[in-house]
Amino acid sequence: MSLAVIILAAGKGVRMNSQLPKVLHPILKKPMLRYVLETAQKMEPEKIVLVLGYDSELVKEEVSDYPVETVIQEPQLGTGHAVLCCEDSFRDFSGDILILSGDVPAISSFSLREFTDSHVKNGADLSLMSTLVEEPDGYGRVLRNAEGEVLRVVEDKDATADEKKENEINAGVYCVNSSFLWESLGGLSSENSQGEYYLPGIVDLCVSRKRRLLAFSLADPKEVSGVNSREQLGEAEKTMRQAINRRHMENGVTIEDPETTYISDSASIGRDTTVCPNTYIYGETSIGDGCRIGPSVYIEDSRIGNNVEIRFSSYLTGCEVENGVVMGPFCHLRPEARIKDGAKIGNFVEIKKSEIGVGSKVPHLSYVGDADIGDGVNIGAGTITCNYDGVNKHRTVVEDRAFIGSDTMLVAPIRVGKDATTAAGSTITKDVSPGALAIERAGQKEITGWAERKGVKKRRS
Supply the residues annotated as catalytic: 364
Classify residue 305 by burial, with Cβ atoms within 10 Å: 0-12, 13-18, 19+. Answer: buried
Q: Tell which phi-psi region holds residue 421, choosing left (phi > 0), alpha (psi between -120 and 50) or beta.
A: beta
The C-alpha R_g of the chain, in whole angstroms, comes to 31
What SS3 class is residue 173? strand
| SS3 call for 111 | helix
Enumerate the β-bridge partners of residue 320. Answer: 303, 338
Dihedral sign of CA atoms 36, 40, 41, 46 in order? negative
Confirm if 79 and 6 have CB atoms less than 8 A apart.
Answer: no
- Scored b (16 or more CB within 10 A) or e, 210-229 reads ebebbbbebeebbbbbbbbb
How far does the chain reach from its first CA to its final CA, in angstroms? 93
Using CA atoms, how far residue 105 sits from 32, 74, 136, 164, 210, in Å, is 6, 24, 19, 26, 33
Burial label, 6 (beta-carbon count in 10 A; 0-12, 13-18, 19+): buried
Buried-state track 131-167, b at ≥16 Cβ within 10 A, e below 16: bebeebeebbbbbeeeeeebebbbbbeebeeeeeebe
Angle 203-205-209 from CA coordinates, rounded to 5°: 125
State the DSSP code for 442: P
Strand 427-428 and strand 279-282: the pairing is unpaired
The angle subtended at Cα 284 by Cα 26 and Cα 61, nearest 5°, is 50
CA 77, CA 11: separation in Å to the nearest integer? 10
